[in-house]
Amino acid sequence: MAEADIKKGLAGVVVDYTAVSKVNPETNSLLYRGYPVQELAATQPFEAVAYLLWHGELPTDEQLAELRAEERRHRALADNVRAAIDLLPLDAHPMDEVRTAVSVIGASDNSGSGSVLDAAGSPEENLERSIRLYAALPSIVAYGQRRRRGQEIVEPRDDLDYSANFLWMTFGEEADEVVVDAFNRSMILYAEHSFNASTFTARVITSTLSDLYSAVVGAIGALKGPLHGGANEAVLHIMSEIGSADNVVPWLDQALAEKRKIMGFGHRVYKRGDSRVPTMKAALDTLIEHYDRPDVAELYAKLESEFVSRKGIYPNLDYPSGPAYNLIGFDTLTFTPLFIASRVTGWTAHIMEQTASNALIRPLSAYNGADERHIEGYVPDAAEL
Binding site for ligand CMC (CB under 6 A): 9, 196, 226-229, 231, 261-268, 313, 316-318
> Whole-angstrom Cα distance, residue 322 to residue 284?
9
* Whether residue 159 lies in the annotated active site: no
Kindly give, in sequence order, each residue whose CB lies less than 8 Å from that of residue 49, ignoring residues fewer than 6 positions away: 32, 40, 187, 188, 191, 345
For ligand CMC, the closer CB: 282 or 313 = 313
Closer residue to ligand CMC in complex, CB, 209/227: 227
- Minimum CB separation from ligand CMC for residue 94, in Å? 16
Q: Least separation, in Å, of the C-beta of 117 and ligand CMC?
A: 34
Calpha distance 178→323 (Å, rounded): 15
Nearer to ligand CMC, 105 or 284 (CB): 284
Which residue number, 48 or 344, has a Cβ lying nearer to ligand CMC?
Answer: 344
Least distance to ligand CMC, CB of residue 67, Å: 26
User: How far is the C-alpha of 168 from the C-alpha of 156, rounded, in Å?
Assistant: 8
Per DSSP, 315 falls in state: B
Q: Which of 74, 193, 267, 350 is catalytic?
A: 267
CB atoms near residue 271 (< 10 Å): 13
CA distance 358 to 277: 33
Of 268 and 290, which has the nearer Cβ to ligand CMC? 268
Question: In degrees to the nearest 10, what's the CA dihedral of 189, 192, 193, 194?
Answer: -160
Could you confirm whether 267 is annotated as catalytic? yes
DSSP SS3 for 142: helix
Select from 255, 365, 277 the least CA-distant residue to 323.
277
The distance of closest approach from Cβ of residue 252 to ligand CMC in the complex, given in angstroms and rounded to an integer, is: 10
Strand runs labelled E in the chain: 21-24, 29-32, 35-36
Taking the complex as a whole, how short is the minimal distance between the CB of residue 86 and ligand CMC, in angstroms?
29
Residue nearest to ligand CMC (CB): 266
Looking at the annotation, which residues are catalytic? 267, 318
